[in-house]
Amino acid sequence: MAERVRSFWGWGYEESFPNDDARKELATRLRAVLGHVPEPLSPPSASAIVVPEPRFTVPVELRSLGTTDTRERARHTYGRGYRDLVRGFRGDFAAAPDWVFYPTEESQLTLLFRFCESEAIALVPYGGGTSVVGGTEHVASGRLRGTACVDLSRMDKVLAIDTASRTARIQAGATGPRIAQQLAPQGLSLRHYPQSYEFSTLGGWIATRAGGHYATLYTHIDDLVQAVRVVTPAGVIETRRVPASAAGPAPERLFLGSEGAFGIITEAWVRVQPRPRWRASASVRFAKFSDGVAATRVLSQSGLFPSNCRLLDEREAMLHGITQVPRAVLLLAFESADHPLEPWMERALSIASDLGGDCDEEATYTAEIVYSLSPTAVSRPPAPSVAPASELPNVGRDADTATWRRSFLDAPYMQSALVSLGVVCDTFETACSWERFPELHAAVTRSVEAAMRTACGGGTLTCRFTHVYPDGPAPYYTFIAPGRAGAELEQWDAIKKAATDAILANEGTVTHHHAVGRLHRPWWEKERSDLYGSTLSAAKERLDPHGIMNPGCLIGTKT
Amino acid sequence: MAERVRSFWGWGYEESFPNDDARKELATRLRAVLGHVPEPLSPPSASAIVVPEPRFTVPVELRSLGTTDTRERARHTYGRGYRDLVRGFRGDFAAAPDWVFYPTEESQLTLLFRFCESEAIALVPYGGGTSVVGGTEHVASGRLRGTACVDLSRMDKVLAIDTASRTARIQAGATGPRIAQQLAPQGLSLRHYPQSYEFSTLGGWIATRAGGHYATLYTHIDDLVQAVRVVTPAGVIETRRVPASAAGPAPERLFLGSEGAFGIITEAWVRVQPRPRWRASASVRFAKFSDGVAATRVLSQSGLFPSNCRLLDEREAMLHGITQVPRAVLLLAFESADHPLEPWMERALSIASDLGGDCDEEATYTAEIVYSLSPTAVSRPPAPSVAPASELPNVGRDADTATWRRSFLDAPYMQSALVSLGVVCDTFETACSWERFPELHAAVTRSVEAAMRTACGGGTLTCRFTHVYPDGPAPYYTFIAPGRAGAELEQWDAIKKAATDAILANEGTVTHHHAVGRLHRPWWEKERSDLYGSTLSAAKERLDPHGIMNPGCLIGTKT
């Protein structure tokens, strides 16, 4: 199998970027929604990339770990948020890192720290490069005179599996598929499927508190992390591999969400699970989104813990082709490696139905899947094989869910395609209490629609719940609006500001599962107490005394 | 109802300390196990308490908040761990705080901070005073010249209830029963029942990461805390009331386990629940503890989430009168406010039975309990009423569970009584992976039994699991050994050292749910990375720049 080439400007693999015909067809379809949409522009050509000359050279012991290759530097310039796609599509790689390093072991990180400290170089840890919040930008400001991108992709091994305790020790650079490949022979799975699953890494998930597969209970990578190992400029912190502890403030929690500001997460013990043997899925229709919200709240408080509990508003359900008429749709699924799921699903449908849901279509129960499990206690995993199909995100099996799943995986490629049409489109998410949700939702809708009208002359906004908690939902919004050639970033800025201001004013959080980065920092600084911010700065000064680690990300640089 | 008087040296209420006849009978029973046990000594008399003269006076604006009353100072001298009981029983109150303050609002805390900073006084936050790890000792060392105990018991109100989101804003000084009283009219409950439930407080639970009612899933107060408000010498940190977030390292986690070293937790938004309407309970017997361990592991990984899953080893089961012959016993229970529990219990018993458990006695299912719930969204609670009986810890309804429950609540009084018999007795707990448990358990048993033989000439050790996780159990040990009058603390030291050394050497944590305090600090400093310790010190310097907050607890004082 020929190795697929990663796009240097857009989402994922270059070959998966929709071709001209597909994008023309997309433009035609979009005109029905947005009015004017221009013909697609061609994506930038690799041969035309311009990056600045590297601002420094490196000593011989680091040279073999790094590269100044133009395409590599361009590819590592940005994450893959809307602003990144637009800048990349425009061929703007002025902020490319001077060097990209590919360490294979921790001792090399220490060499890199010493080099960057003595030479005043910013060091940006890089996992899959899928940040949507400017988590991996390369800024040499203040006393810093250059930037080094440290790509962890060569540290991607499952180092040990403890089948009795269902945990695995995994290197931070392992992507979703690499983890799946190495766990599959033991019948195990991490069951963490962010939309970036194919490219993003364990270390990136931990650094950004990524959200995953489960709609309830184990919603974030936080819930799957047993212990972390972090190499900082000041030394190593390794937390103990125990299921729980009350010994001081939980050390792993300081690094969950640390976004490379303190050091580099190099490995973690994570909680893994046998692949599910039983699955149940169903979809429920509601006349109005607010009816669906009421039912989803009760479900989230029921103690049933569905693996999927994804409520789509009317527009979202129609956009994804799940309904032809305006209905809110709740996609519901349970999975278990231990037991059949009829009692769980039946009770869930009974709750939904009591609260006005239309559960006319029968729930789907898959037959029991039988795997053979290896009884080894702690073992080195066998050589990786190809990831089994059953490892791919699978929230259920009914028709609505299958439709949903295709959309879910294609969405990031779609956004890259939309950028080539000059369309302003993005997603944003939050979490709030159930009590606050109606008001927050109304305010967000009002503000974003107004901003789209003002900045773009119109546009459309949809909402779904990606995760739900007994104390509140995590609403996830998608907006799409006509762009003005060359003004897309300013248009996007206006919409993003309207959205985030409305979220903060209505007691939401600036992000449910996409971290702070550089993008959310101004709002996060309002969300958190200043004193907490300065406490994190004190921690950073201890761990990164020279201030080389991902400067400006999460924590402001000193002026 | 006359107000019951708290013991100034022992557990709980003075009136509940077993009388002479009861303690004589206890001594007789114990002789069968331990050989020589002396006749009980009389507890110390309040009239004989001697405390040192207060080392400082306070300005007029603080005088009305505080007291130098001898009994109050004695009562606040220690927590209620074994060492505390022995010292208190001996009438050793040399370390009494100089003053005890009872603030009623946050502005008074700020006054206290300013006073203690300018006068170089150690300030020790005090909740229920039930620490078993020396969390509330009053040490004026280094430049500090006196100690102030800040008792939060007058800040004990439920300030708001959000019934839609099932959360409540509660002041830190509220005890278990005070919280129950104020939530009951809404049909809600925090469902957090540490053994200290009657006396310990929300703030204390948060500061120590207390373990509670649930054997799985929501095991620690950590899992029930949505947001905290902390008043530190450097200012206030309030975290946002959201169900989840990925915005930076979770701020509330820095204060869960902070043990008063950073500031004083004044209130929290916590996740509450409707009282259970369905309950199921059962007990399963195993020929050997190791068989029970294997079954409990599978249960903890089943996704069934029993509310109780407490495995007692052979000695523990016999000691509590649950079995007459040596059998390990698993106490199993489910509870729900949403649905009947037959499918859950049936599957759990089927797992236990497949793995060699004897489930001959039928499970008990209670009839549905119907409560009337108030539909108010966010409201001030009505005036407190008496806590309903159903609020008391209730892990199930079968006979074994009822026996267990009585033992559970009486245990701390029993320890005070044993101290009066000169018996060396205590509990300690840890958590480790399932893979490490057999070796850890063997090493702990070997070390503690050897230490009891050497220090005491014998003794007995029992084990149970209080909480279980997919990745490991939380074993909880009880030891009891004959003491030598006047040498009990040295005997206890030798046993505690043997236990904790064995735990650390076998990849356990120094504590699963009792915090670090002063007692565990030497071991915790080995358990955690030094760099993490110095990162916490950096945080402390930011939040408590004068080093007045609970010095020596959790974080070492500078030399």
Strands (E), B369-450: 378-379, 424-429
- What residues contact B537, with CB distance under 8 A and at least 6 apart? B555, B556
**Residue whose C-alpha is closest to residue B429's, from B44, B125, B37, B133:** B133
pLDDT, tens digit only, all 559 positions of chain B: 567 999 999 999 999 999 999 999 999 999 988 888 999 999 999 999 999 999 999 999 999 999 999 999 999 999 999 999 999 999 999 999 999 999 999 999 999 999 999 999 999 999 999 999 999 999 888 899 999 999 999 999 999 999 999 999 999 999 999 999 999 999 999 999 999 999 999 999 999 999 998 999 999 999 999 999 999 999 999 999 999 999 999 999 999 999 999 999 999 999 999 999 999 999 999 999 999 999 999 999 999 999 999 999 999 999 888 889 999 999 999 999 999 999 999 999 999 999 999 987 888 998 777 655 443 333 333 333 333 334 444 444 456 666 656 667 678 999 999 999 999 999 999 999 999 999 999 999 999 999 999 999 999 999 999 999 999 999 999 999 999 999 999 999 999 999 999 999 999 999 999 999 999 999 999 999 999 999 999 999 999 999 999 999 999 986 5
Task: Judge: A249–B255 Cβ closer than 8 Å, yes or no.
Answer: yes
Q: Is B86 helix (H, G, I), strand (E, B) or coil?
A: helix
Element containing residue A467 per DSSP (H, E):
strand A460-469
What is the least distance, in Å, from the CA of A232 to any CA of chain B? 10
Query: DSSP assignment of B521-559, as one string?
Result: HHHHHHHS-HHHHHHHHHHHHHH-TT--BSTTSSSPPP-
The strand pair at A158-162 and B378-379 is best described as: unpaired
Q: Which residues on B lie below 8 Å from A470 (Cβ)?
A: 165-166, 243, 271, 273
The CA distance from A229 to B532, in Å, is 11
Q: Are A473 and A294 in contact (CB under 8 A)?
A: no
Element containing residue B66 per DSSP (H, E):
strand B66-67
- What residues contact B16, with CB distance under 8 A and at least 6 apart? B4, B413
Q: How far is CA A401 from CA A281, A332, A363, in A?
A: 8, 9, 12
Residue of B nearest to A231 (CA): B531
B222 touching A (Cβ < 8 Å): yes
Neighbours of A365 (CB within 10 A): 17
Q: Are B210 and B220 in contact (CB under 8 A)?
A: yes
pLDDT digit string (tens) for A128-167? Answer: 999 999 999 998 888 999 999 999 999 999 999 999 999 9
The CA distance from A407 to B547, in Å, is 55
Residue of B nearest to A334 (CA): B303
The whole-number pLDDT of residue A397 equals 42
A239 touching B (Cβ < 8 Å): yes
Phi and psi torsions of A252, nearest 5°: -65, -25
B110 touching A (Cβ < 8 Å): no
Question: Once rounded to an integer, what is the mean pLDDT over residues A411-427?
Answer: 94
B290 touching A (Cβ < 8 Å): no
Strand order across the beta sheet in which A66-67 lies: A66-67, A99-101, A146-151, A121-126
Torsion angle in degrees (nearest 10) through CA of B500, B506, B508, B511: 0
* Average pLDDT taken over every residue of chain A: 92
The CA distance from B96 to B146, in Å, is 10
Residue A388, pLDDT above cutoff 70: no
In the structure, what pLDDT confidence band is assigned to residue A415 with cuts at 50, 70 and 90?
A: very high
What is the least distance, in Å, from the CA of A310 to any CA of chain B? 16
- What residues contact A491, with CB distance under 8 A and at least 6 apart? A424, A455, A456, A481, A483, A484
A529 touching B (Cβ < 8 Å): yes
In the structure, what pLDDT confidence band is assigned to residue A395 with cuts at 50, 70 and 90?
A: very low
**Helices (H), ranges, A432-486:** 437-456
The whole-number pLDDT of residue A377 equals 34
Q: Are A168 and A226 in contact (CB under 8 A)?
A: no
What is the least distance, in Å, from the CA of A307 to any CA of chain B? 11
pLDDT digit string (tens) for A441-483? Answer: 999 999 999 999 999 999 999 999 999 999 999 999 999 999 9
In the structure, what pLDDT confidence band is assigned to residue A32 with cuts at 50, 70 and 90?
A: confident
In the structure, what pLDDT confidence band is assigned to residue A409 with cuts at 50, 70 and 90?
A: low
Choose the mutation target among A242, A368, A435 for the interface with B, i.e. most B CBs under 10 Å.
A242
How many residue pairs bridge chain A and chain B with CB atoms within 8 Å of each other? 306
In the structure, what pLDDT confidence band is assigned to residue A386 with cuts at 50, 70 and 90?
A: very low
Choose the mutation target among B532, B541, B544 for the interface with A, i.e. most A CBs under 10 Å.
B532
Tokens 């598929």 found at: A177
Task: Judge: A244–B474 Cβ closer than 8 Å, yes or no.
Answer: yes
- ipTM confidence score: 0.94
Task: Output the CA torsion sign for B110, B114, B117, B122.
Answer: negative
Q: Identify any residues that bridge with A6 across adjacent strands, giving them in sequence order.
A: A13
HSE at residue A452, side-chain half, CA atoms within 13 A, is 21
User: Any idea how long chain B is?
Assistant: 559
What is the least distance, in Å, from the CA of B444 to any CA of chain A? 17
| Weakest-pLDDT range from A186-200, A269-283, A369-383, B256-270 | A369-383
* Rounded (to 5) percent helix, strand, coil in chain B: 35, 20, 45
The whole-number pLDDT of residue A400 equals 66
Q: How far is CA B289 from CA B293, B441, B463, in A?
A: 6, 11, 9
Question: Once rounded to an integer, what is the mean pLDDT over residues A352-360?
Answer: 93
The CA distance from A45 to A90, in Å, is 10
- What residues contact A175, with CB distance under 8 A and at least 6 apart? A128, A153, A156, A197, A198, A199, A200, A201
Looking at per-residue confidence, does B309 or A33 come out higher? B309
The whole-number pLDDT of residue A153 equals 98
Predicted model pTM:
0.94
